[in-house]
Copies of this chain bind each other. A is one copy, B any other.
Amino acid sequence: MVKNNREQIHHLLRNSHLSVTETRVKILELFMKSNGALEHSDFEKKLGQSFDRVTIYRTLQAFLDKGIIHKIPTTDTSVRYALCKSECSEHDHHDHHVHFKCEECGTTLCLEETDVPSIQLPKGYAVHNVEVVVSGVCKQCK
C-alpha cells in the first residue's frame, strides 16, 4: 500500500523529532512538487504572506539540521535548498551528487545519478566533503 504525501511528510517530520505543523507541511509539499532547488524568496512567493519570513528561515534551518534538506553552493548571495533523497540524518549529510545550474532557465537541479568524482589534493589537505556545481544548459532549454 502506497502512502500518500501527507502521510510521508508526517512520518518524515516525526522521525526527525520535529512536530507536525502547517508551515512545515506546506514547505515540504512545495519541495516535493517542485522540479529544482528552491531559494528563500520562492517560499515567500509561493506561500504568499500566510507565513512569517522568520518562520520560513527557522523552518529551513530546522530541516537542514535534521538532514531533511541540503544547501547548494552558488556564486551569488542566494542560497538554494533541495530535499535530501539519500538517507541523511541529523548532522550527517551524505548527498554525494552533482548539482546543475541552467544558465537559460535558472533552474538548479540535483543530479542524483551523477556521483561527485574523487579529488586528489596536494599533500597536507584533509578532505571532508566535495561539492560539484556544473553550469550549462538543461534538457528542457536545449
Contact = CB atoms under 8 A, between A and B. Distances in A.
B114 A121 contact: yes
A138 B98 CA distance: 24
Contacts of A126: 136-137, 142
Interface residues of A, number: 37
Given A73-B74, A75-B79, A77-B77, A127 B117 contact: no
A63 to B, nearest CB: 14
Interface of A: 71-79, 98, 100, 103, 111, 113-114, 117, 119-122, 124-139, 142
A142 B124 CA distance: 8
Given A73-B75, A75-B73, A132-B130, A137 B125 contact: yes
